[in-house]
């Protein structure tokens, strides 16, 4: 155990209200700060993890109105991730959060076959350069060839709070896609379960035995040319299944331009595929309640050059 205050992240303190007088520490932590039982168990293991009026406290201890209850999380680092000087488009950063605009062609987290060159390698290097000891905790992920906004928590508490917002469906995640064909409706919802393809586990399919998956879409533009129809579609996810947008758009007959896995079986329109150079999907808006300030925050990421180029090609051929 350690009592060195520099080994901990910034503390969170709450003053016990009159209605919580006589209650247990665990109850106040849950009600006032939303600290999960799992995180409380972690906090109990360190000397300064949970303190009551400056003294170490157990979760079963009783509190009195006016008491100061504080939690501190030990600093952690991602020692298993190699720091690499990868350029980062940082949209926002404070003591609790990092929002990055990820380019296409980069994996979020090291996996088998991608130990280096990932977003995580670049973020860990960035933090090391700042002299910060922080563990890489992405709240959500984007496919390798999807660009856009990714949120990364800097503490276990922030990660827990944002994960709960995701599960509750209160996180705003808006995407823009360019697809083959025209959706039947200008605005609609694809409510179709998704699971792995039993014949190819790395591919997802719509199947009655799958997990509930809901995608809302709205057509922003329709394009027509001798090569066929295309659309710019804005999408909002209600669930977050792997490849969800790509699978759902193919399911309604509008696969993404440049999508090598779920795109047209005939290869599509060469000029469109070449212009995008990858699946035409961009996570352009991200919003949620900041876990510490409790203020709504929202960020937008402009279209990357390759999708601007694709849009120009579609407009020119319209």
Query: Contact 177/243 with Cβ under 8 angstroms?
Result: no
Task: Determine the Cα angle at 158 with ends 108 and 6, to 5°.
Answer: 100
Burial of 112 (0-12, 13-18, 19+ CB in 10 A): exposed
CA–CA dist 40, 230 (Å, integer): 51
DSSP 18: G
CA–CA dist 195, 54 (Å, integer): 50
CA–CA dist 252, 158 (Å, integer): 37
Query: Contact 104/145 with Cβ under 8 angstroms?
Result: yes
The residues pairing with 211 across neighbouring beta strands, listed in sequence order, are 194
CA–CA dist 68, 138 (Å, integer): 31
Q: Which residues are identified as catalytic?
A: 143
């Amino acid at each position: 155990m350690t009592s060195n205050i520099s080994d901990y992240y910034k503390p969170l303190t709450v003053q016990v209200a009159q209605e919580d007088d006589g209650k247990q520490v665990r109850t106040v932590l849950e009600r006032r700060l939303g600290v999960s039982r799992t995180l409380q168990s972690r906090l109990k293991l360190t000397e300064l993890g949970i303190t009551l009026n400056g003294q170490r406290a157990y979760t079963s201890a009783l509190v009195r109105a006016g008491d100061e209850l504080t939690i501190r999380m030990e600093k952690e680092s991602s020692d298993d991730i190699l720091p690499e000087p990868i350029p980062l488009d940082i949209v926002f950063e404070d003591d609790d959060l990092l929002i990055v605009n990820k380019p296409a062609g980069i994996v979020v987290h090291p996996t088998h076959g991608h130990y280096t060159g990932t977003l995580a390698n670049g973020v860990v290097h960035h933090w090391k350069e700042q002299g910060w000891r922080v563990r890489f905790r992405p709240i959500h992920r984007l496919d390798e060839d999807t660009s856009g906004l990714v949120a990364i928590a800097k503490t276990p508490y922030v990660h827990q709070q944002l994960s709960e917002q995701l599960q509750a469906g209160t996180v705003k995640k808006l995407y823009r896609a360019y697809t083959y064909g025209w959706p039947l409706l200008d605005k609609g919802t694809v409510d179709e379960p998704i699971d792995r393809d039993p014949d190819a586990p790395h591919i997802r399919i719509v199947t009655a035995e799958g997990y509930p998956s809901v995608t809302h879409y709205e057509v922003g533009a329709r394009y027509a040319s001798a090569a066929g129809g295309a659309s710019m579609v804005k999408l909002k996810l209600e669930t977050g299944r792997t490849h969800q947008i790509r699978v759902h758009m193919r399911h309604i007959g509008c696969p993404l331009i440049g999508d090598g896995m779920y795109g047209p079986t005939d290869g599509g329109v060469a000029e469109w595929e070449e212009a995008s150079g990858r699946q035409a999907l961009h996570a352009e808006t991200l919003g949620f309640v900041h876990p510490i300030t409790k203020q709504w925050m929202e960020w937008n990421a402009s279209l990357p050059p390759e999708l601007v180029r694709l849009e120009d090609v579609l407009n020119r051929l319209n």
